[in-house]
Structure 1
Amino acid sequence: MGARLHIIASVTLAVAAALSGAVNVGSSARAQPAALTAKQSTALEAYNRALSDFKAILSQRRRQIDAHEPLPNLPGQALYLARVDVMSTYKDLTDALPSRLGRPNKYEVPPAYFDADIEPLIDEYRALFDVMEAPPPNAQASVTPFKDVVDLGTAIARAKGLDAKGADAAGRISLGLFFAETNGKQNVGNGRSNTYIGSFQTGPSEDRNGRKRWQAIKPSIAALDPKLIARDDREEARIGSLDHRLNHWTAVRDGLMNAHADLFAQIPDIARTLPDPIDQMKFFELIQIIPTATRAALKSGNLLQSRVSDPTVMKYLRNNSIFAYGRTDRARTSASFREILDAMWLFNQKFTRAQAEFERVRTR
């Protein structure tokens, strides 16, 4: 216990030092050559300003939370925008000064976008979101959240006619979606939206649509897996008339049925085009982000070379951390799906974790 307390204290001190500027946060950005061009100086000033603003909003939210003060509506939005600004201005800085590319970081963000010296700030950022997005008091948790996702995805795929291999892939992909939406945390709120909540971050209309589709497929699943339907009946009785997004099982079930289940039958074809399991998970996450454009690309017969150029679609991509950082990336007016998948590097770590958890579930 003493060692654990020592570790917690060390982390807390690291965050406090980073916020106060007492540690060498952003040192690679500040230790500049004697003479800079006007463009380089502007980029450096923008990054230092963004970093200062990020520290300020982190400190403000931490103080408010620790003092049990009321938080503003959408308390995570300012944090999110400040983090985006830090990464964007750092990318502009490394574009202007390539020698300032930093070392690899534990978040596996490309070094051009992220100075590893600010890792303690991102640790605090995540810790604050954990508090702001804690499940509501009436949320109904599961003791087997990962297994639930895999079981539901697998059962839906089997009802869609997939063989064991295809259904296995559907279970893995479903778990990837859970990690993409919530970092693998069940029943979470949303610090940046009053609409989307729960284990699959769905809105009310999406949940209703998913429930309707589940009722249509439920008899087919009952014939294949009566134990799963028995579990489903227990969870339905448990949630009763409450919002079904407050129950992990029903939230996952309805989220999968709303957006993804109708494409499960095409998983074998998708896997032939995208043999990398991480790419497969990215593809289904794009169904969540830009569904119409992604479905059209799949139907085109040339998924990877299909391009999107609609400004609204590009906006949705940027709002989900794709082509979101730095002037060069944000200036893009179009992209192929191969380029989009490659640009989803912030999802890589989540999907890698999902894959590891899937293997554990399957082993058990």
Structure 2
Amino acid sequence: MLLASLLFATAHLSLPSEAAALTKEQVEAQSAYDSALADFNKVLAERRAQIDGKKKLPTRPGQALYLARVKVMSTYKDLTDAIPERIGRPNKFNVPPAYFDAAIEPLIQEYADLFRVLQAPPANAQDSKTPFKDVVDLGTVIARAEGLNPTTAQKAGEISLGLFYAETNGRQNIGNARSKTYMGSLQTGTSENAKGARKWAAVKAKVRKLDPQLAARDDAEEKRAKGIDQRYNHWIAVRNGLMNAHADLFGQIPEIVKMVPDDIDQMKLFELIQIIPTPTRAALASGDFENYRITDPKIMGYLRNNAVFTFGKKDRAKKSATYREILDGMWLFDDKFKRAQKKYEEVKAGTAG
């Protein structure tokens, strides 16, 4: 009832006082947003009732929640495009105000709370007491195995922590409420996990020479994870995820830093290796990364499914984009990567595990 009351208040108090002066486009934009907000509230309440009542959930219980949130942000962006005066105050989620009405913060908090329940790790998941340090250590040693010196390899540790935040918000061993394929601390599928394990086995001897203590930890985690889906062992999930998608590019970090000097953009680039690996590698090999253009509708669809060019009619109408435009369009990742940078500094200072 609290959510419903809040929705009613925000939906109706948001109407401009001079409604009669609105154009047809503005009235339609307001109506679309109010409808999206009502739908969002409905699915939030429905999923909460199912969880609290211990009722059977849909196969992908987070998908309807996700689509409803996207629709709210999309229609609000259309509304602020039509009525710029509707752009309000900053919000605690650091979403640009043109995409999000701060008055509905409690609804978005409820959304996040529901996903925390829906994506909770299984009972046999194997947590780490030092999940952030693990990510940094693994990324760093993998980069060293790829030929980087100890100082340069630290960048791989920082980027790896950014990937952990991008994929799971820094939560270890989570499931996936929108997919039955991807899970764990780096959200990998079974084939990706297996490929990463094979690639790790090929460099394990080198790792043992570089860092005997880390190799011993790895031996212990391998033994610990026997008999479970290893994607639910934090250490192994991160190790295999990084080896599968990113290890070879870690060796190219000096060249990548020259092409993409901004730290946040570097994290975005490596996240794009998760989302659209083939065109991103082609862009890197082109010699003109930022101006490399994506035109394939399927690739644009993958981007939209990962919150890039997703919100509002103007973004959704884009049929192509350069990598510079894609990096700029990944603004929803900015807050995650900034939190990862802060956590990285804590790990290096020994104040976070």
- TM-score tier after normalising by the smaller chain length: over 0.9
Q: Would the aligned equivalents of 2:7 and 2:37 in 1 still touch at CA under 8 Å?
A: no
Matched residue, 2:288: 302
In the alignment, residue 31 of structure 1 is paired with which amino acid? P
Tell me whether 1:205 sits opposite 2:205 in the alignment: no
Q: Which of 125, 138, 151 is residue 124 of structure 2 equivalent to?
A: 138
Matched residue, 2:18: 33
Q: Which runs of 5+ in 2 are unaligned?
A: none
- Secondary structure (helix, strand or coil) at the match of 1:25 reads helix
In the alignment, residue 214 of structure 1 is paired with which amino acid? W
Matched ranges for 1:254-265 at <5 A: 254-265=240-251
Q: Which of 164, 168, 172 is residue 158 of structure 2 equivalent to?
A: 172
Tell me whether 1:225 sits opposite 2:211 in the alignment: yes
Tell me whether 1:129 sits opposite 2:115 in the alignment: yes
Distance in 1 between residues matched to 2:239 and 2:24, nearest whole Å: 55
Matched residue, 2:4: 19
- Secondary structure (helix, strand or coil) at the match of 1:318 reads helix
Q: Which of 313, 316, 325 is residue 311 of structure 2 equivalent to?
A: 325
Q: Would the aligned equivalents of 2:7 and 2:38 in 1 still touch at CA under 8 Å?
A: no
Instruction: Tell me by how many angstroms 1:27 deviates.
Output: 6.1
Q: Would the aligned equivalents of 1:213 and 1:257 in 2 still touch at CA under 8 Å?
A: yes
Distance in 2 between residues matched to 1:23 and 1:36, nearest whole Å: 21
Seen in structure 2, the aligned counterparts of structure 1 residues 268 and 150 have a Cα distance that, compared at 3 Å, is same
Tell me whether 1:92 sits opposite 2:89 in the alignment: no
Instruction: Tell me by how many angstroms 1:100 deviates.
Output: 1.0
Instruction: Tell me by how many angstroms 1:136 deviates.
Output: 0.5
Once the two structures are superposed, residues 43-78 of structure 1 have per-residue CA deviations (whole angstroms, 9 ceiling, x without a partner) of: 110000000000010011111111111211100000
Instruction: Tell me by how many angstroms 1:165 deviates.
Output: 2.7
- Secondary structure (helix, strand or coil) at the match of 1:30 reads coil
Q: Which of 44, 50, 73 is residue 58 of structure 1 equivalent to?
A: 44
In the alignment, residue 72 of structure 2 is paired with which amino acid? V
Distance in 2 between residues matched to 1:241 and 1:147, nearest whole Å: 25
Aligned residues: 349
In the alignment, residue 156 of structure 1 is paired with which amino acid? I
Q: Which of 252, 263, 272 is residue 266 of structure 1 equivalent to?
A: 252
- Secondary structure (helix, strand or coil) at the match of 2:318 reads coil
Q: Would the aligned equivalents of 1:314 and 1:334 in 2 still touch at CA under 8 Å?
A: yes
In the alignment, residue 284 of structure 1 is paired with which amino acid? F
Tell me whether 1:285 sits opposite 2:285 in the alignment: no
Seen in structure 2, the aligned counterparts of structure 1 residues 22 and 278 have a Cα distance that, compared at 3 Å, is closer
Q: Which runs of 5+ in 1 are unaligned?
A: 1-15
Q: Would the aligned equivalents of 1:76 and 1:192 in 2 still touch at CA under 8 Å?
A: yes
Distance in 1 between residues matched to 2:263 and 2:149, nearest whole Å: 17
Q: TM-score, normalised to structure 1's length?
A: 0.94
Instruction: Tell me by how many angstroms 1:102 deviates.
Output: 1.5
Q: TM-score, normalised to structure 2's length?
A: 0.97
Tell me whether 1:246 sits opposite 2:232 in the alignment: yes
Q: Would the aligned equivalents of 2:164 and 2:170 in 1 still touch at CA under 8 Å?
A: yes
Tell me whether 1:70 sits opposite 2:56 in the alignment: yes
Structural RMSD (CA): 1.2
Distance in 1 between residues matched to 2:348 and 2:198, nearest whole Å: 29
Q: Would the aligned equivalents of 1:103 and 1:111 in 2 still touch at CA under 8 Å?
A: yes
